[in-house]
Chains A and B, each alone.
Chain A
Amino acid sequence: MTEQQTALLEVTNLTVDYDSTRALTSLDLSLQQGQLLCLLGPSGCGKSTLLRAIAGFQDVAAGRIVLAGQLLSGAGINLAPEHRQIGMVFQDIALFPHLTVRANIAFGLHQWSADDAQRRVEYLLSMVGLAGFGERYPHELSGGQQQRVALARAIAPKCNLLLLDEPFSGLDAALREALVPEVAALLKREGITAILVSHDQKEAFAFADQIAVMHHGEIEQLSSAYEIYHKPASRFVADFVGEGDFIAGQVVDSHQITCILGNISNGKLDFETGCKVDVFVRPDDILHDDGSPIKGHIVSKRFRGTHFLYRIELASGEQVACFTDSHHDHDIGEDIGIKLNMEHLLAFRS
Chain B
Amino acid sequence: MSVSQSFKFRYVPSLKWVALIVAALVLLPIVAVLQQAAFVGNDLWLHIWQTVLPDYVSNSLLLMLGVGAGVLMMGVPAAWLAAMCQFPGRRWLDWALLLPLAMPAYIIAYTYTGILDYAGPVQSGLRHLTGWGYGDYWFWQVRSLSGAMAMMVLVLYPYVYLTARATFLEQSSVSMDVARSLGYSRWQAWFKVAVPMARPAIIAGLTLALMETLADYGTVQYFGVATFTTGIFRTFYGFGDTAGAAQLAAVLLLFVVTLIVVERWSRRRQAYHVKAQPRATATAIVLLGWRGWLACCVCLIPVVFGFIIPAGQLLWWTLFEAHVQWSSFWQLAWNSFYLSALAAVLAVCLALLLAYAQRFYPRQSVRHAVTLAGMGYALPGTIIAIGVMLPLAWLDHRINDAFTWLGWSSPGLLLSGTLVVLLMAYCVRFLAVALGGIQSGLGQVSPSLDESAKGMGRNAWDVLRLIHIPLMRSSVLTALLVVFVDVLKELPATLMLRPFDFNTLAVRAYELAADEQLVEAAPASLMIVLVGLIPVLILNRAINRRRQRG
* Chain A residues engaging chain B, CB cutoff 8 angstroms: 55-57, 80-88, 90-92, 94-98, 107-108, 110-111, 137-140, 153-154, 156-157, 163
Contact = CB atoms under 8 A, between A and B. Distances in A.
A84 B183 CA distance: 8
A285 to B, nearest CB: 39
Given A107-B179, A137-B269, A139-B274, A94 B174 contact: yes
B273 interface: yes
16 contacts: A55-B181, A56-B180, A85-B183, A90-B174, A91-B174, A94-B178, A96-B175, A96-B196, A96-B197, A98-B199, A107-B179, A108-B181, A108-B182, A110-B184, A153-B182, A156-B182
A70 B175 CA distance: 26
Nearest to A162: B181
B141 to A, nearest CB: 42
Q: Give the most central of A94, A98, A154, A157: most B CB within 10 Å.
A: A94
Nearest to B279: A92
Contacts, number: 81
Interface string B155-178: 000000000000000001011011
Contacts of A90: 174, 177-178
Given A137-B269, A138-B274, A139-B273, A94 B175 contact: yes
A9 B85 CA distance: 32
B197 A92 contact: no
Contact of A81 (B177, B197, B273): B177
A80 B274 contact: no
A96 B193 contact: yes
A98 B269 contact: yes
A23 to B, nearest CB: 12
B214 to A, nearest CB: 28
Chain B: interface size category = 20 to 34
Interface in B237-285: 269, 272-277, 279
A113 to B, nearest CB: 15
B279 A57 contact: no
A157 B182 contact: yes
B197 A98 contact: yes
Contacts of A139: 272-274
A134 B330 CA distance: 68
Nearest to B182: A108
Contacts of B178: 88, 90, 94, 96, 153
A154 B181 CA distance: 8
Contacts of B184: 82, 110
B350 to A, nearest CB: 36
A82 B196 contact: no
A95 B182 contact: no
A163 B398 CA distance: 79
Nearest to A153: B182
A92 B172 contact: yes
A85 B196 CA distance: 25
Contacts of B197: 96-98
Contacts of A98: 196-197, 199, 269, 273
B279 A87 contact: no
A163 B181 CA distance: 10
A108 B193 CA distance: 12
Q: Give the most central of B175, B178, B275, B277: most A CB within 10 Å.
A: B178
A90 B282 CA distance: 13
Interface in B177-204: 177-185, 192-193, 196-197, 199
A88 B183 CA distance: 11
A81 B180 contact: yes
Nearest to B273: A97
Interface in B89-109: none
A197 to B, nearest CB: 13
Interface in B481-516: none
Q: Considering the complex of A and B, which 5 residue pairs feature the smallest CB-CB distances, nearest first?
A: A108-B182, A88-B181, A81-B180, A97-B273, A94-B174
Given A92-B172, A94-B175, 5 more contacts: A80-B185, A96-B196, A98-B197, A110-B184, A138-B274
A110 B192 CA distance: 11
B269 A82 contact: no
A87 B181 contact: yes
A68 to B, nearest CB: 16
A97 B181 contact: no
A90 B176 CA distance: 11
Contacts of B193: 96
B32 to A, nearest CB: 41
B274 A86 contact: no
B194 to A, nearest CB: 11
A81 B177 CA distance: 8
B181 A81 contact: yes
Contacts of B269: 98, 137
A85 B182 CA distance: 8
Contacts of A153: 178, 182
B277 A92 contact: yes
Contacts of B199: 98
A102 to B, nearest CB: 15
Contacts of A157: 182-183
A82 B181 contact: yes
Nearest to B181: A88
A95 B277 CA distance: 12
Nearest to B277: A92
Contacts of B180: 56-57, 80-82
Contacts of A154: 181-182
Interface in B187-231: 192-193, 196-197, 199
Q: Give the most central of A81, A86, A110, A140: most B CB within 10 Å.
A: A81
Nearest to A94: B174
B185 A137 contact: no
Contacts of B279: 91-92
A81 B180 CA distance: 6
A90 B174 CA distance: 7
Given A92-B279, A94-B178, A137-B272, A108 B196 contact: no
Contacts of A95: 274
B177 to A, nearest CB: 6
Q: Give the most central of B172, B182, B199, B275: most A CB within 10 Å.
A: B182
A174 B256 CA distance: 52
A93 B88 CA distance: 33
Nearest to B185: A82
Contacts of B181: 55, 81-82, 84, 86-88, 108, 154, 163
